[in-house]
């Protein structure tokens, strides 16, 4: 069975500082990995995804994530955050065996301070 662990429930950071949101997963098979963002009172939208190929994935709004198979991690990074990046971020995993489910982490609330 798959699982996703987001190691930080909340991450406060000052504007223009770098940020890393951590995500670890467990799965016995190859996986797809995702980061979604949720702004207040809205649904989730895809930030970026790793399916195969280059382990460094670039997404929208200047975010990127690196897939590390040996450490089973998929940490999200941004070199300089803005106030508008304040939101909840979800890491998610789905496997390649033809199943129809995606497992989401508990979420990390990023709070960017002026």
Partner 1 sequence: SQTIHQWPATLVQPVGSPLSLECTVEGTSNPNLYWYRQAAGRGLQLLFYSVGIGQISSEVPQNLSASRPQDRQFILSSKKLLLSDSGFYLCAWAHPSGQQETQYFGPGTRLLVL
Binding residues for partner 1 (CB under 8 A):
32, 34, 36, 41-46, 49, 51, 90, 94-96, 98-107
- What is the closest distance, in whole angstroms, from the C-beta atom of residue 13 to partner 1 in the complex? 20
- What is the closest distance, in whole angstroms, from the C-beta atom of residue 15 to partner 1 in the complex? 24
Nearer to partner 1, 36 or 74 (CB): 36
Nearer to partner 1, 36 or 67 (CB): 36
- What is the closest distance, in whole angstroms, from the C-beta atom of residue 83 to partner 1 in the complex? 22
- What is the closest distance, in whole angstroms, from the C-beta atom of residue 94 to partner 1 in the complex? 4
Please report, in angstroms and rounded to a whole number, the separation of the first and last CA atoms in the chain. Answer: 41
Nearer to partner 1, 10 or 80 (CB): 10
Nearer to partner 1, 43 or 53 (CB): 43
Rounded to 10 degrees, what is the CA torsion of 39, 44, 47, 52? 160
């Amino acid at each position: 069975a798959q699982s996703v662990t987001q190691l930080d429930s909340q991450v406060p950071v000052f504007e223009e500082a770098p940020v890393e949101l951590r995500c670890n997963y467990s799965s016995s098979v190859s996986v797809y990995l995702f980061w979604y963002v949720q702004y207040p009172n809205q649904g989730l939208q895809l930030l970026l995804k790793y399916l195969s190929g280059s382990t460094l994935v670039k997404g929208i709004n200047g975010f990127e994530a690196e897939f590390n198979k040996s450490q089973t991690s998929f940490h999200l990074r941004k070199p300089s955050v803005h106030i508008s990046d304040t939101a909840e971020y979800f890491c998610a995993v789905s496997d390649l065996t033809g199943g129809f489910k995606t497992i989401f982490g508990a979420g990390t609330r990023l709070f960017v301070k002026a």
